[in-house]
């Protein structure tokens, strides 16, 4: 039996104010081609199909055109979709008649029975191999749910119960969660490994009861904690510049009736690139201008939807109006979409800010004053009062939480 595992489409996402309809359309067209090439028996979409409520008509059209074509082209393939934390349950519920009409199984919330008990059997969906109907697997499609995540034992209880009841067939689990042992890449830093926390689910001890665990939520495709049967498919598009170097694609999973599994990632090249100029560490004005000049010049017939998204990081103690004017002129003539520009504080300037402070001075520093000073150094101006008020509210909330915590220990 063959599965196609994908997740985190985030249809409706805006990249620094720019709609991404063309990008999602490009991905979904590619994805449809993969179903023709690999002929999966089941097509699994593990959460965050949408980026939230309030889709634009054009975004809805792209989604429904794809789903309709997908089911028409693959009438015997089982299509299963589970909700993620960004998906709107009401929208999915209101769309159920359409999903049912085109043959898509959707699990958007944890169901309950007449006794208000969790009806986990409703989440179990049997799948048969198209060419070998006697070969069967069970898909446990678990939508994102805060109560499940907050109960550290709930997933284990659920999976053990399902594995026991359906012991005669391979078990596949769909879950949109942060899994223990997953790697969260951080730009310019070592990878962060999710280990502990109220929102982290430990699947490592449960993986032996599951043939394949199809995960969503983390946007970097990866095998989790060295378990060859526990995978994040990753997102098809980078949602922030910090994700610009992520690999994108889908997982094709071949599942044996004995529970064995073989996973291979099929890579996808997004329509638009994300670039940081010159680098995360920033560069001088001259370096920035030199790199910008390497891009082709605009012309009237350009398809601007193909322009790469660009962020600029400039490392200068002072940025003069003349620099900004030259930069603006260069940007207006190049085939790029500039989203943001950040002033990176030179290391020597940062050190100079606090070079004369003693340890006692540091202890007496007011956090608000430090932040204001850093803002002034970074942006050559005073921090707006609105931001200052927000920071003060965060400080009060943290102090209140600390007092409550200290009163309990």
Helix 285-292 to helix 321-332 angle (10° resolution) is 10
What is the full DSSP assignment across 226-292?
Answer: TEEEEEE---SS--SGGGTT---EEEEEEE-TTS-EEEEEEE---SS-EEEES-TT-B-HHHHHHHH
**Can you give the pLDDT of all 409 residues of the chain as single tens digits?**
999 999 999 999 999 999 999 999 999 999 999 999 999 999 999 999 999 888 999 999 999 999 999 999 999 999 999 999 999 999 999 999 999 999 999 999 988 777 777 778 889 999 999 999 999 999 999 999 887 776 657 787 888 888 888 888 899 999 999 999 999 876 555 577 777 766 788 887 776 779 999 999 999 999 998 999 999 999 999 999 989 999 999 999 999 988 899 999 999 999 999 999 998 889 999 999 999 999 999 998 999 999 999 999 999 888 889 999 999 999 999 999 999 998 887 665 555 555 565 666 555 555 666 676 666 655 555 667 777 777 777 777 777 766 665 555 4
- For residue 221, give both structure tokens: 């495709």
| CA 250 to chain CA mean position, Å | 14
DSSP 8-class letter at 306: G
CA dist., res. 106 & res. 99, Å (int): 7
pTM, 2 dp: 0.83
| CA 388 to chain CA mean position, Å | 30
Residue 224: partners with Cβ closer than 8 Å, 6 or more residues away: 179, 181, 182, 203, 204, 213, 215, 230, 231, 232
- For residue 186, give both structure tokens: 């951080």
DSSP 8-class letter at 316: -
Residue 320: partners with Cβ closer than 8 Å, 6 or more residues away: none
- Please name which of 211, 226, 139 lies closest in space to residue 179, comparing C-alpha atoms: 226
- Please name which of 103, 175, 173 lies closest in space to residue 138, comparing C-alpha atoms: 173
* Pairing of β 249-255 and β 2-6: antiparallel
CA dist., res. 162 & res. 127, Å (int): 15
Residue corresponding to tokens 């017939």: 301
| CA 406 to chain CA mean position, Å | 35
Q: How many residues does the chain have?
A: 409
């Amino acid at each position: 039996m063959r599965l196609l595992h994908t997740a985190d489409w985030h249809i409706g996402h805006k990249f620094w104010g720019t709609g991404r309809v063309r990008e999602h359309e490009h991905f979904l067209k590619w994805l449809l081609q993969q179903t023709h090439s690999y002929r999966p028996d089941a097509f699994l979409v593990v959460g965050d199909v949408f980026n939230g409520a309030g889709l634009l008509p054009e975004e809805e059209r792209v989604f429904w055109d794809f789903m309709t074509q997908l089911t028409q082209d693959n009438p015997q393939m089982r299509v299963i979709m589970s909700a993620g934390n960004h998906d709107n349950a009401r929208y999915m519920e209101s769309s159920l008649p359409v999903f049912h009409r085109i043959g898509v199984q959707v699990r958007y919330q944890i169901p309950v029975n007449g006794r208000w008990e969790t009806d986990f059997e409703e989440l179990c969906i049997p799948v048969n191999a198209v060419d070998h109907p006697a070969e069967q697997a069970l898909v446990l499609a678990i939508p994102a749910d805060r109560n499940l995540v907050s109960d550290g034992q709930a997933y284990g209880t659920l999976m053990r119960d399902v594995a026991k009841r359906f012991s005669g067939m391979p078990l596949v689990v769909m879950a949109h969660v942060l899994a223990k042992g997953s790697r969260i890449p951080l730009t310019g830093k070592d990878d962060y490994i999710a280990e502990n926390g109220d929102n982290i689910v430990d699947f490592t001890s449960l993986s032996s009861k599951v043939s394949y665990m199809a995960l969503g939520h983390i946007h970097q495709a990866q095998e989790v904690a060295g378990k060859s049967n526990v995978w994040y498919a990753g997102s098809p598009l980078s949602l922030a510049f910090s994700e610009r170097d992520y690999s994108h694609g889908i997982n094709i999973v071949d599942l044996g009736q004995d529970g064995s599994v073989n996973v291979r990632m099929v890579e996808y090249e997004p329509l638009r690139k994300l670039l940081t100029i010159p680098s995360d560490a920033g560069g001088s004005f001259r370096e920035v201008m030199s790199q910008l000049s390497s891009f082709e010049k605009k012309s009237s017939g350009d398809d601007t939807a193909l322009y790469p998204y660009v962020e600029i990081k400039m490392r200068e103690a002072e940025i003069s109006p003349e620099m900004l004017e030259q930069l603006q002129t260069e940007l207006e003539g190049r085939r790029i979409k500039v989203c943001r520009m950040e002033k990176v504080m030179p290391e020597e300037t940062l050190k100079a800010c606090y070079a004369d402070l003693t340890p006692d001075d540091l202890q007496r520093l007011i956090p608000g004053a430090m932040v204001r000073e850093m803002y002034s150094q970074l942006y050559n101006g005073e921090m707006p009062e609105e931001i200052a008020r927000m920071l003060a509210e965060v400080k009060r909330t943290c102090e209140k939480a600390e007092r409550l915590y200290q009163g309990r220990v």
